[in-house]
Amino acid sequence: MPKVYKPGKVAIVLQGRQAGKKVVVIKQNDEGTKDRPYPHAIVAGIERYPRKVTRSMGAKKLTRRSRVKPFIKVVNYSHLFPTRYALELESLKGSVSADTFKEPSQREDSKKNIKKLFEERYQSGKNKWFFQALRF
């Protein structure tokens, strides 16, 4: 079976609290681990997407509406739906690892890092599809 979930691949979460949200795969584990004996991936996604902006809005309103709320999660492959899209975020790989989920403070630090990276990517105008909700 070919490897579908490579780092940088964009997928959609199908089950759980984040169902219907887009995520990017940071690290994949095809065999599973001792504590998670199933194939899974560490993903970072967008919990709250940026809102619509228009030309008539001021700078302050524009920055507030351009905010992104990220989440990080370990997701079973059977709860992910791969897309044809990919994000080339090299700096994401170092920000989240398996140890990140053990300590809440590490988790918050990695979320802040991911938030900064996602907002920079959104401001640059690249990968517009990733920053729009599936249904609105």
Residue 2 — very low, low, confident or very high, per pLDDT cuts 50/70/90? low
Gyration radius (Cα) of the chain, Å: 15
Looking at the domain that runs over 9-129, which CATH code has it been given? 2.30.30.770
Strand (E) or helix (H) holding 26: strand 22-29
pLDDT score of 21? 93
| Domain segments of the chain as ranges | 9-129
Burial class (CB within 10 angstroms; exposed 0-12, middle 13-18, buried 19+) of 67: middle
pLDDT digits (tens, 9 = 90+) for 23-53: 999 988 888 788 889 899 999 999 999 999 8
pTM of the model: 0.85
pLDDT digits (tens, 9 = 90+) for 65-114: 999 999 999 999 999 999 998 888 777 777 777 777 888 888 888 899 99
Give the integer Cα–Cα distance in Å for 121 and 76: 26
Give the integer Cα–Cα distance in Å for 69 and 112: 9
DSSP 113: H
pLDDT score of 136? 62
The 8 Å CB, 24+ separation contacts for 110-113 are 110/72, 111/70, 111/71, 111/72
